[in-house]
Amino acid sequence: MEWADALAASLTGPQVVNDSKTPSGTVHVGSLRGPVILDVITRALRAHDLETTLLYGVDDMDPMDAQALLTPDAVESQMGRPLAHVPDQVGDGHASYARHHAQTFIDTFAGLGIHPDRYYWMSDIYASGAVDPYIRTALDRADRVREIYRRVANVQHPSDWHPVQVVCESCGKVGTTIVTEWDGERVRYACRADLVTWASGCGHEGWVSPFGGRAKLPWNLEWAAQWGLFGVTIEPSGKDLSTAGGSRDRSDAIAREVFDREPPLNVPYEFLNIGGRKMSTSKGRGAAAHEIVEVVPPEQLRLLFLRPRPNQAIEFDPAGTDAIPRLFDEFDRLAAATAGRPVKGELPGGFEAVFRYALLSAEADVAAEAAAFRPAFNHLALLVQIPSVDLTVAAAAEKGAPLDVREVGILSERAAAARAWLATYAPDSAIVRVRDELPAEVAELGEDQRLVLGAIALAAEAGGPASGDDWQQVIYDAAKAAALPSGRVFAAIYVALLGRPNGPRAGWLLASLEPDRVVARLRAAAGWSTGGAA
């Protein structure tokens, strides 16, 4: 995290941090990396007493170019129209396709502790006339714009190409129009059937004023216009935009040479990759940002994006893996290290800052947060599956003292996350399922283990243990009497019930089941009974 603090230390004067996004469809969790980086920069600047404004924009005048996201009957009419003018395909009350997808994404920000001072929608900004001076300058300097495309990006536009896209007065498409003349007040444009492969224009031609929302700037110019319009001083951008000759280079040159303004500082950042697996968004196991935030609590999700430096790619594959439990473990390790407790493994440079920036609130009491008791996620994910367990009692027992108010809050957040994880991304091995029949894996048990299972069955019949603690005592006593390591006894119990050698605290597991059923199963596993429903 030194990078954010170093950045802040190198700057003076008021700062405007900006990012914007084209709402072209469901937003993938990786798209949260930008907003989290933006938030960290903003927090670092403010911590250095720099007056800072955080802006987040929606580029909703961009043309609809993703056919797969439209209903079949909408493809012909909607492809190429501004996203702000395409109807909401979901039909849940948003004003447009753009509003639906952008709002669904933006709604995750507050929960992640990201609070832009202002959101802006480019459809509103164009309609307000605020972009008009930039449109006029771009048209007046069209030759310079063409020269920049040629020099920076090796893109050769025709000599009559002008850097503005009119919203066709006839068909409403913006992706299909080309402007070929500018008389100082109006532009001559044509809506062409074959200008782009993904949308078909209507053939309309005419002269129109490009102002007041009737036209938009091509993306590279629009980006540079945003910087001028909002006084942007810092704008991180993804590596896809930051390549040589790429979008950022073009917009930087346009800012300098067309709009006479230094571009903002770039903080290029790498992608988040979701494993090799293709993740479906339809089965409740998706990788959409708004789905991940329903499973991973904000501080762990912030950590996912914060721990690597911006220039490092992030590999994240939550489906059927322990990626989410590992996020919790890493969070807990950083908390422990920040609190001065010994931890295993190497710590990232500036780990205290990583922990601090991962916290939901910029005003959090870092020392208190670091010291708070947090139950291990994996353990909790097992406990929530056993009906008889009182989580607060179990956590207090683990802590060795009653939980305070904050710790009760953490416990309940984690328990909810564990349940959500089990219902969505968790691998089958994390699911505790007491088998209906004696598991075949029992054949792998040693004779010593069979005998001790039989002894536990006898003790249970004699003593009738009721609580998890009672059962736990019966198991320990039996292990001691048999002179076996308790781990070997617990493994035998798990195999007999779950068909695998590990599981939640055995006493709680046994106490959650019918006593007769437990005894019958242990006897069967010991090889003492034949037939019957074990």
Using CB under 5 A, list all residues that contact Zn ion.
Answer: 88, 90, 92, 94, 100, 168, 170-171, 191, 201-202, 204
HEC sequence for 409-469: HHHHHHHHHHHHHHHCCCCHHHCCCCCCCCCHHHHHCCHHHHHHHHHHHHHHHHHCCCCHH
Cα 354 versus chain centre, distance: 17
Residue type, 395: A
On whether the CB atoms of residues 510 and 519 are closer than 8 A, the answer is no
Q: How far is the CB of 186 from Zn ion (least distance, A)?
A: 17
Q: How far is the CB of 354 from Zn ion (least distance, A)?
A: 36
What φ, ψ does residue 67 adopt, rounded to 5°? Answer: -60, -35
The DSSP result for 359-380, as a single string, is SS-TT--HHHHHHS----HHHH
Cβ proximity to Zn ion, 23 vs 228, nearer residue: 23
Cβ proximity to Zn ion, 94 vs 488, nearer residue: 94
Q: How far is the CB of 142 from Zn ion (least distance, A)?
A: 22
Cβ proximity to Zn ion, 191 vs 234, nearer residue: 191
The partner residues of 20 in beta bridges, in order of sequence, read 57
Q: How far is the CB of 97 from Zn ion (least distance, A)?
A: 8
Cβ proximity to Zn ion, 79 vs 258, nearer residue: 79
Cβ proximity to Zn ion, 49 vs 92, nearer residue: 92
Q: Which residue has the tokens 């909790």?
A: 380
Q: How far is the CB of 126 from Zn ion (least distance, A)?
A: 18
Report DSSP state, residue 18. E
Cβ proximity to Zn ion, 103 vs 321, nearer residue: 103
On whether the CB atoms of residues 408 and 372 are closer than 8 A, the answer is no
Q: How far apart are CA 196 and CA 416, in angstroms?
A: 48
Q: How far is the CB of 290 from Zn ion (least distance, A)?
A: 12
Task: Copy the structure tokens of residue 282.
Answer: 């339809």
Cβ proximity to Zn ion, 193 vs 313, nearer residue: 193
Cβ proximity to Zn ion, 52 vs 165, nearer residue: 165
Q: How far is the CB of 88 from Zn ion (least distance, A)?
A: 4
On whether the CB atoms of residues 380 and 415 are closer than 8 A, the answer is yes
Listed residue (84, 75, 85) closest to 102, CA to CA: 84
Q: How far is the CB of 168 from Zn ion (least distance, A)?
A: 3
Q: How far is the CB of 93 from Zn ion (least distance, A)?
A: 6
Report DSSP state, residue 152. H
What φ, ψ does residue 58 adopt, rounded to 5°? Answer: -120, 120
Cβ proximity to Zn ion, 147 vs 205, nearer residue: 205
Buried-exposed string 309-332: b where 16+ CB fall within 10 A, e elsewhere: ebeeebebbbbeebbbbebbebbb
